Amino acid sequence: MKLVTAIIKPFKLDDVREALSNIGVQGITATEVKGFGRQKGHTELYRGAEYVVDFLPKVKLEVAIKEELLDQVIETITNAARTGKIGDGKIFVTSLEQVVRIRTGETGAEAI
């Protein structure tokens, strides 16, 4: 089992969710986050005061999947979230040791 964590542009959330549903992913957790990478921040000006805003709003997706789906999921997210401009985000993949469905007590791949 793998945990795929993707940081994407907020307005791409619906596209990515739809694309992942289409390939059979059944659950996604989305969180509003802030961060910076190569895109860096921007400058905001309030009357005389100028502030550099380093952290930009992004959406973090967490998707738990069976290992065999990994390549397809990565490809799907990449295609759906890509604009080609700087700041499209990143995908991190980690191994998932255990999953438990709380309602039934099922564990492992069954619980995904």
Task: Name the residues that contact another protein, by CB under 8 A.
Answer: 44-49, 51, 53
Q: How far is the CB of 40 from another protein (least distance, A)?
A: 16
Picking from 90, 85, 58, 87, the residue whose alpha carbon sits closest to that of residue 74 is 90
Helix (H), strand (E) at residue 17: helix 13-22
CA distances (Å), origin 62, targets 45, 52, 72? 35, 29, 15
Cβ proximity to another protein, 45 vs 86, nearer residue: 45
Cβ proximity to another protein, 44 vs 110, nearer residue: 44
Give the phi and the psi of residue 61 in degrees, each rounded to 5: -105, 140
Cβ proximity to another protein, 33 vs 100, nearer residue: 33
Give the length of the chain: 112
Cβ proximity to another protein, 34 vs 101, nearer residue: 34
d(CA 77, CA 62): 11
